[in-house]
Every structure is written in structure tokens, then in C-alpha cells.
Amino acid sequence: MSALAVEAEGLVKTFGSTRALDGIDLQIPQGTVLGLLGPNGAGKTTAVRILSTLLRPDAGRAQVAGVDVLTDPHGVRGKIGLAGQYAAVDANLTGFENLYMIGRLYGMSRRQARSRARVLITRCRLDEAAERTAKTYSGGMRRRLDLAGALVANPEVVMLDEPTTGLDPRGRLDTWEVIAELVADGADVLLTTQYLEEADHLADTIAVIDRGRVIARGTSNELKAQCHTVEVAQSAGLIWLFPLTFVSSAFVPTGNMPAVLKVAAEWNPVTAAADASRELFANTVPATFPPPGGWPGEHSVLYAVLSSVAIIAVFAPLTVVRYRRVARR
């Protein structure tokens, strides 16, 4: 139990008729980052609010840094740093003053608070903006200031709720760097995001949540492998559908086929190929070689072969392109 930075079991939270969390289990081993990945409304913020003791669950239990969120919320608050989905900075104070004030609120001496603020300003790439009021900051700078605020008290567990949503690419990259450093320093991090790319980049393990449930979990490679299997099977399925349908329709009357195959088999080039093959192999195999008056259905055989080649010529590269794109992710 003590090896887990966060451990949650069966968390449930409903708001009226909305089941925001529908029985969620989460584990974050110490020194690792869990990416909670899900679309808007999946329940990410609700989970973070429960784990940061801002909200009580209807059911389930959770421990953060070994402390129970229900029985000792105060103890949990002393061990976590939280940067919410909407940056909570005082816009009328400078970046430096914001961090200094937080340090003082945590009971640091003036000196300690000043030196901590300086360290975090640098760490969060805010040196040039340190003496400007936060209202002049870009979205990314505000987020990083908020993140710096969450780190003032040197928390054991850091919770970041959608740290890059709404940021431009530059702001996102800067924020990623700051988080990556935090991670390299060995912090335990719970990060929520709507972006697979972000979870892939920053998280050791990913839990995908949707409508209050974890629908997949694993390392990003494990999750990608699952996607590969499905997508490769899909694309491989496409390329074989046509030749297979073509071959089978040569021997089985299309009327006897299952509906899906029938649609494909009755598609013009396929039908032509089927008719030609049937003529060749089933009905009129010639007694003399070559048959007098030429091969039956000569033109349709040619047509069928050409259209099969054309079909494969289109689908084979599509399959390869698709596979490459999936494999690169």
C-alpha cells in the first residue's frame, strides 16, 4: 500500500441524474505519472477533486500518499499540489508575488518564501515575466505560474487537471518541458488530459476514461498495440474482401450468399469476374485446347483480371499507408 502514491477503489459520484464517476479504480506507483485520458465530461475533474479532497465521493475509498481522503482530508492536503483546470492566479500580483504569497501562506519565512519563489520562477520558464503582473501573461504563462504555485510546498503528489487544454502549440511544449522535469525529479503525478499525444509523451501509464468508467488502461505502448491489432485487422480485412468475394462467387451462386457478401459480389467487376470464372471452370470447360472459336467469355475474363488488379492496386497501398500511420503513433 505504501508503494502507491495514489490508490482509489470503486469511486462513485453522481450529480443529480449524471453519474460523473461510475466506479473508478486508479493506482499510481510512487515516482510515476498516471495520465487520465478522456473526452470532455468523462469525469476527469471529478476524480481529481475527490482525490484532492475538494469533493466527497458517494461510494468508494481512496488514499493519497498513504493518507485516506475521507478520514484525513487535512493530512492529504498537506501532501499534494493541485493545479486546476482553470488557472487560479491573482492577476493583479506579479508572477513572483503570487508565488511568494503562497509560500507565506504555507508558513514559510520571508527568506524561504523568496528563495522558493525564485527557484520555481526559473523552473517554470517565467524569468522574463517574473516582475510583470499576471494579467499580462499568456494562457501558457498563467498555467505555468499556477503549476509553480502547486509546487511551492514541495508536495509528494502533484495533480494537474488538463494543464495544456486551450494552449497554443508553443505554450503546450513549454508546459510539457516543465512537467517532464518534474517527472524526472521523481514526483508522483496525476495528469488529466484530452490529448492522447500528451499522455503518450508524459505518462508512464494511461487510464482511458469515458462516462465515469475506465475503459482501457496500460502503458502507452500497450494501448497502441491494442489499437494496432484492431486497425491492422480492419485494413487487412479490406484488402482480402474483394479477391475472396470474387473467388467464392465463382463457385457459389450470388443468391446463396450472406447479404454482406452478396452486395460485394454483385458489384459490377466482381460479377463479371464471377460470371467469367463460372463459364470457364463450371459450365463450359472446353474439350479441345484451345476451344474452337476462342475462350468463352474472353473479354470478361480480361475485364475481371484487370479490375481485380486495379482493386488490389488501390487497396494494397491504402493498407500500407494506414498501417504506417498507425505504427508511427
Ligand X SMILES: Nc1ncnc2c1ncn2[C@@H]1O[C@H](COP(=O)(O)OP(=O)(O)O)[C@@H](O)[C@H]1O
Binding residues for ligand X, per CB under 6 A? 15, 18, 20, 38, 40-46
Q: Which is nearer to ligand X, 14 or 138 (CB)?
A: 14
| Dihedral angle sign, alpha carbons of residues 82, 87, 89, 90 | negative
The answer to whether the CB of 112 falls within 8 A of the CB of 189 is no
Rounded to the nearest 5 percent, the helix, strand and coil shares of the chain are 50, 20, 30
Closest CB to ligand X among 198 and 279?
Answer: 198
Query: In terms of CB distance, is 161 or 279 closer to ligand X?
Result: 161
* CA distance to 147, 175, 195, 198, 252, per residue, from 164 (Å): 11, 7, 9, 9, 57
For residue 17, give the 3-state DSSP assignment: coil
Residue 155 preceded by cis peptide, ω within 30: no
Q: Could you list the residues that contact Mg ion (CB under 5 A)?
A: 44-45, 85
Q: Find the shortest distance in angstroms from Cβ 162 to Mg ion.
A: 6
Min CB(44)–Mg ion separation in Å? 5
DSSP strand pairing (80-83 vs 157-161):
parallel
Closest approach, Cβ 103 to Mg ion, in A, equals: 28
Q: Is 133 helix (H, G, I), strand (E, B) or coil?
A: strand
Closest separation between CB of residue 85 and Mg ion, Å? 5
From Mg ion, ligand X, none, interface partner of 166 (C-beta below 5 to 8 A by class): none
Please choose which of ligand X, Mg ion, none residue 240 contacts, taking the beta carbon within 5 to 8 angstroms, the exact cut-off set by kind: none
Residue (45 or 53) nearer to Mg ion, CB = 45
User: What's the CA gap between 254 and 257, in Å, rounded?
Assistant: 5
Q: Which is nearer to ligand X, 49 or 116 (CB)?
A: 49
CB of 246 to ligand X, least distance (A): 48
43 contacts which partner out of Mg ion, ligand X, none, CB within 5 to 8 A by kind?
ligand X
Closest to ligand X by CB, 46 vs 254, is 46
With CB under 5 to 8 Å by kind, the binding choice for 165 among Mg ion, ligand X, none is none
DSSP 38: -
Shortest CB 44 distance to ligand X, Å: 3
Closer residue to Mg ion (CB): 85 or 308: 85
Which partner, Mg ion, ligand X, none, binds residue 42 by CB below 5 to 8 Å per kind? Answer: ligand X
Q: Which residues are bridge partners to 59 per DSSP? A: 12
Going from the C-alpha of 158 to that of each of 7, 92, 260, 313, the distances in angstroms are: 14, 26, 52, 52
85 versus 138: smaller Cβ distance to Mg ion: 85
Q: Which does 40 bind (CB under 5 to 8 A by kind): Mg ion, ligand X, none?
A: ligand X
Shortest separation between residue 140's beta carbon and ligand X, angstroms: 20
46 contacts which partner out of Mg ion, ligand X, none, CB within 5 to 8 A by kind?
ligand X
Lay out the sheet containing 67-68: strands in order across: 18-29, 4-15, 59-64, 67-68
Query: Residue 161 Cβ, how far from Mg ion at the closest point, in Å?
Result: 6
The length of the chain, given as a count of residues: 329
Exposed/middle/buried for 115, CB within 10 Å: 0-12, 13-18, 19+?
middle
Q: Select from Mg ion, ligand X, none the partner in contact with residue 164, using the beta carbon and a kind-dependent cut-off of 5 to 8 Å.
A: none
